[in-house]
Amino acid sequence: KQELQLPSGDYQYFFRCVDAGRNSAEASSSFSVFADKQAPRVTRAYKQDALKIVTDEDAQCVYSLNNCNYVFEDGSPIIYSNPDNKRSHFAEWKSSNIYYIKCQDLYGNRPDPNKCSAVVSAIQLEQSV
């Protein structure tokens, strides 16, 4: 067992094992590594009794009602709609609020401290008669 921290790329590893009787076996393995360095993206935001947020990968999301310049840990949590689905989130809806949302993936990738994943506010649509 050996832990490796590899950058993105293609790799080929060669292995040789020798037992106590000096018998040996050789093999190789090829694989590709993709290192996720991007913060999750908000793919949908809408009102359905609450503010609903959908992300493109499993994420934890928070919001501020002031601006995007806040530390992730200081944000108000947006909870999961279903604990088994970490891409669907919701928060209490208040039409007068502007939600400055930041989302972090399971690897800790998140927006810069002064940036948001999304900014969401309500608009009132006028119906024509």
> Closest Cα to residue 78, out of 68, 67, 97, 92?
92
Residue 108, phi-psi category: left (phi > 0), alpha (psi -120 to 50), beta (remainder): left
Determine what percent of the chain is predicted with pLDDT higher than 70.
Answer: 95
What rounded mean pLDDT belongs to the chain? 90
Of residues 55 and 8, the one with the higher pLDDT is 55
pLDDT surpassing 60 at residue 113: yes
Of residues 129 and 89, the one with the higher pLDDT is 89
Query: DSSP of 91-104, one letter per residue?
Result: E---TT-EEEEEEE
E strands, 19-122, in order: 24-33, 42-47, 51-55, 59-64, 76-82, 85-91, 98-105, 118-121
Q: Kindly report the pTM of this predicted structure.
A: 0.73
pLDDT surpassing 90 at residue 94: no
Q: Tokens for 36, please give them.
A: 């996720």
